[in-house]
Amino acid sequence: VDPCPVHGTMSHTDKDAAHVPELLQCLRDALSALLEVRPANPLQFLLAHFRRVSDPDSLESLAYLLNACPRSRKCFEDQLHSAFMTLKRPKTDAVQHQVCETFLRHLASLEPLPQELQQELLEQLRAATEGGLVRFNQFCSVIEACLIANEALEGSQVLLRACGESVSPQERAQRLQSLCGVLDSTVQHQGQDALRELLPTLGQPPFQKLRDEMRKYNLNAVEGPLE
């Protein structure tokens, strides 16, 4: 029992007060991360952040925090490196394949990605594994390919909501491929080649047609139905 100058033991109030500086620092770190990442869902991001603080071994919260950081942000590379350093084996420069696969599955389930694409990503990971370990460059390549696919799927969902629900499953798949194609052709990073291998039929239908549909939807929303 902690001593107290007056009563010989520390009261519950004193113990609670002793944790205040720690809690304040935790809140500062959370707000700092929020301002740096600027996630689409701030409350969900904070929830994942606090879960990560309370359970540092949680791969689920780590996956969410990495996925929430847009790749266009300067902090993305730091987040990716931090994830690798968290997952890697002590005294090595690599992540165990099983740990990396579990982390990849968490990432792929956030949207979630189609099962076929998840399997392609897992096969890509197996091909990048040497001696049961995944090095940093290979880790970045596969993880970024998954993040690109997540972004494309999220973008396709926004587009499908804008175009209405009367869209066939085949057309949904084609539009997802088209959005992935746009990302693949404009993003310069290690995940680009991996994504090209995962989605060999990119580019159909033309993205310009999808963009025209979105523009028409926006005009309808602002000005009413077009004549």
108 close to 118: Cβ distance less than 8 angstroms: yes
Q: What is the pLDDT of residue 26?
A: 85
Q: List pLDDT tens digits, range 37-79.
A: 888 888 999 999 999 888 988 899 999 999 999 888 888 999 9
Contacts (Cβ under 8 Å, ≥6 apart) of 164: none
* pLDDT tier, 90 (very low <50, low <70, confident <90, very high otherwise): confident
* pLDDT tier, 80 (very low <50, low <70, confident <90, very high otherwise): very high
Cis peptide upstream of residue 205 (ω within 30 degrees of 0): yes
Amino acid at site 162: A
Q: How many CB atoms lie within 10 A of CB 14?
A: 12
Mean of pLDDT over the chain: 74
According to DSSP, the residues that pair with 134 across neighbouring strands are 95
The structure's pTM equals 0.64
Range 13-35 average pLDDT: 79
